[in-house]
Chain A
Amino acid sequence: MLSLLVATAVALIRVRGLLASIMLTSVYGLLSASFFVIMDAVDVAFTEAAVGAGVSPLLLLLTVAIVGRKEAAPAQGRRAAMPILLVTVTGALLIIGTLDMPPFGAADAPVHQHVAPYYLEQSGGEIGIPNVVTSVLASYRAYDTLGEVLVIFTAGVAVILALAPPGQRGSFRLDDSSATPFVPNTIVQVVSKLLIPFMLLFACYVQFHGEYGPGGGFQAGVIFASGIILYGLLYGLPTVCRAIPPPVVEVLAAVGVLIYGLTGVLSLLGGSSFLDYGVFADDPVTAQHIGIVCIELGVGITVAAVIITIYYAFARQQERGRS
């Protein structure tokens, strides 16, 4: 598996065409996802399969559709010495850094000495859910996860700001007059109509079953967004904008973060510390459940909304370039 990853990476460096390298990026994402499954990190594999193999190559493809598929030819005779030196030094430093790491799977590695044993042994009794990843992510380390959600939200805001045309106020509305007529592709549309509802249903399952099996807010949000983006790809941007208006999505991105933050504030008001769910119910395990469901909902809404927003921003650029 690792050798396949390395082979893909080498091919990725050597290939010149931008389309081919995007496809290789997608292959790389799929391989990493399988790699994560082998390493028993199913939660990460979920996200990697959807984002690494699906959404991010798609965004790259949209970019290429805007800027053209030819890579600029390297200037002859002027080998960039400085970048090569920089890359070599950085790479060497990183490799030297890994030399100090304990061997893979060593029982006396610092990771396994610090708080991990506590989480693994106590989470069953304290949180009462089988998926330890969720209990660490949403309860013990809820503050870190809040940071991650804020990072995603900030990324969405940054993309909106960077790609908005000058002089735009508020979120964009697609005026139907400028929209190019969309070429229908009947077979793909019919099949996707059959499959997309199941994708969305599966996203909800991943969202609310995340405590018991692999999954959770991040994974569910990504899957949900993939379903919507697939719809947008096959039916055109105006159709999907009518179904799910961009202003609503942008508001939802903020609402998700607010749900997360308010959960923390509510626990503060209940007389406990920030994001300590003990105040939500008398039974501590039930309280943990309520808290985790709330913040996972916030995470899911934010992730889905931000990814859809980013897709809208890119797709609209392409639409404007065409007309």
Chain B
Amino acid sequence: MEWVGNICLFIGSFLLLTGALGFLRFRDFYARIHACGITETLATGFILLGLFLHSDAVLPQIKLVMILLFVLFSSPTASHALAKAAWNAGVRPRDSDGVRLPLPPSDQ
């Protein structure tokens, strides 16, 4: 049980690291949201799972599950809200050459 928890914690930390790297390296807003939003949800899940396996009392475990539920609800919603706000504010994704894509005509 102990080492399964350790592995979960390690995977979680690794995912957080990749998320931070992606945030720094990716070229446009949406790719960055993609990098941190997805890895963050999964990484928090893994870290909480690892902590869950490490703790031996019931009460902290219930609390961890509740935190996990809260994160599963709030984190994707926050990413979505950011992306939607950016889209409404007129930020458009870039293609691989770094050129901003034009607005689709139906959207205007």
| A and B associate | yes
Residues of A bordering B, CB below 8 Å = 185, 187-188, 191-192, 194-195
Inside 8 A of B73's CB, which chain A residues have their CB?
Answer: 191, 194-195
B77: nearest chain-A partner, CB-CB: A191
**Would A185 and B74 count as touching, CB distance under 8 A?**
no
- The chain B residue sitting closest to A190, CB to CB, is B77
Nearest CB in chain B to that of A194: its residue: B73
Residues of A within 8 A of B84 (CB): 185, 188
Q: How far is the CA of A286 from the CA of B70 in the complex (A)?
A: 37
> Which chain B residues in 46-92 approach chain A with CB under 8 Å?
70, 73-74, 77, 80-81, 84
B74 touches A187 (CB 8 A): no
User: With A and B bound together, what is the CA distance between A191 and B77 in angstroms?
Assistant: 7
Docked Cα-Cα span, A185 to B73, in Å, equals 16
> B58 → chain A, closest Cβ, in Å?
18
User: Is A195 in contact with B81, judged by CB distance below 8 angstroms?
Assistant: no
Using Cβ atoms and an 8 Å threshold, which residues of chain B touch A191?
A: 73-74, 77
Within the complex, the shortest CB–CB distance from B68 to chain A, in Å, comes to 14
**What is the CA–CA distance of A185 and B80 in the complex, to the nearest angstrom?**
10
Give A183's nearest chain B residue, CB to CB: B88
B74 contacts A195, C-beta separation under 8 Å: yes
A35 to chain B, nearest CB (A): 20
Are B74 and A188 in contact, CB atoms less than 8 angstroms apart? no
Q: How far is the CB of A171 from chain B (nearest CB, A)?
A: 31
Can you list 14 A-B contacts with CB-CB less than 8 angstroms, sorted by A residue number? Answer: A185-B81, A187-B77, A187-B81, A188-B77, A188-B80, A188-B84, A191-B73, A191-B74, A191-B77, A192-B77, A194-B73, A195-B70, A195-B73, A195-B74
Q: Report Cα–Cα, A189/B50, bound state, in Å.
A: 32
User: In the complex, what residue of chain A is closest to B88 when comparing beta carbons?
Assistant: A183
Q: Which residue of B lies closest to A234 (CB)?
A: B81
Nearest 6 CB-CB pairings of A with B: A191-B77, A188-B81, A187-B80, A191-B73, A188-B77, A195-B73
Give the docked Cα–Cα distance between A191 and B81 (Å). Answer: 11
Chain B residues with CB under 8 Å of A195's CB are: 70, 73-74
* Alpha-carbon distance between A270 and B73 when the two chains are bound, in angstroms: 51
Chain B residues, Cβ within 8 Å of A192:
77
CA distance A187 to B79 in the complex (A): 11
Least CB distance from B25 to A in Å reads 20
Chain B nearest CB, measured from A139 CB (Å): 29
Please name all residues of chain A whose beta carbon is closer than 8 Å to the beta carbon of B81 when the two chains form the complex.
Answer: 185, 187-188
**How long is the Cα–Cα vector from A187 to B84 in the complex, in angstroms?**
10
Q: How far is the CB of A74 from chain B (nearest CB, A)?
A: 27
**A318 CB, min distance to chain B CBs, angstroms:** 16
Bound CA span A156–B89, Å: 33
Chain B: minimal CB distance from A234 (Å): 9
Q: Which residues of A contact B77 (CB under 8 A)?
A: 187-188, 191-192
Tell me how far the C-beta of A197 lies from the nearest C-beta in chain B, rounded to whole angstroms: 13
Apart from A188-B77, A188-B81, A191-B77: 5 A-B pairs, beta carbons within 8 A: A187-B77, A188-B80, A191-B73, A191-B74, A195-B74
User: How far is the CB of A199 from the nearest CB of chain B, in Å?
Assistant: 10
Which residues on A sit within 8 Å (CB–CB) of B74? 191, 195
**Across the two chains, which residue of chain A brings its CB closest to B80?**
A187
CA distance in complex: A132, B58 (Å): 26
B19 CB to nearest chain A CB (Å): 17
Whole-angstrom CA separation of A191 from B84 in the bound complex: 15
User: Which residue of the partner chain A has the closest CB to B66?
Assistant: A198
